Amino acid sequence: MSTASTAAGVTSLPVMRALRLEQPRRAFVAQLMGLPVSVHVRGPRATGPAVAALVQQLFLALAADEATFSTYRADSTVSAIRRGELRIEHAGTRVREVAGLCDEATRRTAGAFSAWLPGPDGSRLFEPTGLVKGWAVQQAFDALCERLVDLGPHDALINAGGDIAVACARTDTPDWRIAIEDPRDRTRTLRVESLRTGAVATSGTAARGAHILDPATGSPAHGLLAATVVGPSLLWADVYATAAFVHGTRAVGWLRDLPTYRADLVAPDGSITRVIQQA
């Protein structure tokens, strides 16, 4: 062990990497919002009760948001808004915050994202689900990372149904390695994104069929098999991935203008277009 510490003090990064001791790691899984949510924590106290309690707090926060925002639960605030019993301006702060972010998302995506989707009778109902997941997960994850600081430096990763946020407070650990699923064959991956901090979100039809609606037409979007967006925030990576999927092959021009986000678009013939913001 003394070799490791002396070497780390004087030699270059690859040696430090080679000599680093692997940190304890633990994964936690809960089913929330109809999604599997896994949280991984890496660091000296990852397997202890304090970290487990903090992750439970994260799951509880997500469960609370689910109770407020679910469109499947008749007793949720959003269901009351959809039935016309409550106006958004009279709802709680979190609902108003989400409604505001939905409007911003519509602006940022040139209309490809909308929280007002046409229902079966053509009237538009409040449907913020597409934004709520990324927003709620990012907030709960940020809160977890803040609380982890008190336990010493730890890294963390959250995966909510295929959308991922990561953070690293340690400097002696490998990057988180996020594989991007191949939409043509879900047992394969297209590539691996190495990240220390940030988010990866993918929109596509591989898991649930054609469920992403184009707000302009109300019909399922097609044109791409999948869109993956990488960037600093899960909220926006998720919104942009959905919007890129809706934009289809026209997404390239729009994505190029997004600061700090980059994207992979998979066309039906399997070809991949990588869009990186121009410097």
Partner 1 sequence: MRRISYWVMSTFSALVILFSYHTSTNSMAAASPTPLTPADTGGSTGTAAPAATTNSTTTTTISGSYTGSQVNTRWGIVQVQITVVNGKITSAQAIEYPNDNFRDQQINAYALPILNSEVVTAQSANIDSISGATVTSNGYTSSLQSAIDQAHQ
Strand partners, 29: 38
Check residue 66 for interaction with partner 1 (CB under 8 A).
Answer: no
Provide, rounded to whole angstroms, the least separation between the CB of residue 228 and partner 1.
6
Check residue 177 for interaction with partner 1 (CB under 8 A).
Answer: yes
Burial of 187 (0-12, 13-18, 19+ CB in 10 A): exposed
Among the listed residues 189, 152, 178, 272, the one whose alpha carbon sits nearest the alpha carbon of residue 230 = 178
Check residue 124 for interaction with partner 1 (CB under 8 A).
Answer: no
Strand partners, 191: 180
Four-point Cα dihedral 103, 38, 139, 176, nearest 10: -100
Check residue 144 for interaction with partner 1 (CB under 8 A).
Answer: no
Check residue 140 for interaction with partner 1 (CB under 8 A).
Answer: no
Check residue 207 for interaction with partner 1 (CB under 8 A).
Answer: yes
Check residue 87 for interaction with partner 1 (CB under 8 A).
Answer: no
Closer to partner 1 by Cβ: residue 91 or 234: 234
**Can you tell me which of 204, 215, 231, 248 binds partner 1, judged by CB under 8 A?**
204
Check residue 50 for interaction with partner 1 (CB under 8 A).
Answer: no
Check residue 163 for interaction with partner 1 (CB under 8 A).
Answer: yes
**Can you tell me which of 2, 93, 187, 271 binds partner 1, judged by CB under 8 A?**
187
Residues 13-42 contacting partner 1, CB under 8 A: 14-15, 17-19, 25-29, 31, 34-36, 38, 40
- 238 neighbors 163 (Cβ within 8 angstroms): yes
Q: Count the helix, strand and coil residues of the chain and give each as a percent rounded to the nearest 5.
A: 40, 25, 35
Question: How many Cα neighbours within 13 Å face the side chain of 245?
Answer: 30
What mask, x for binding partner 1 by CB under 8 A, covers residues 231 to 270? ----------------------------------------
Q: Residue 189 has which token pair?
A: 């991956």
Pick the piece of the chain touching partner 1 (CB under 8 A) from 12-20, 104-112, 120-128, 146-154. 12-20
Distance from C-alpha of 229 to C-alpha of 234, rounded to nearest angstrom: 9
Strand partners, 192: 179
Check residue 210 for interaction with partner 1 (CB under 8 A).
Answer: no
C-alpha distances out from residue 34 to 62, 111, 129, 133, 134, Å? 11, 27, 12, 11, 14
Size of the site for partner 1 (CB under 8 A): 53
Maximal C-alpha separation, the chain? 72
Closer to partner 1 by Cβ: residue 39 or 99: 39
Which residues sit at the interface with partner 1, rule CB under 8 A?
7, 11-12, 14-15, 17-19, 25-29, 31, 34-36, 38, 40, 157, 159, 161-164, 166, 174, 176-181, 183, 186-187, 189, 191-194, 200-208, 226, 228, 274
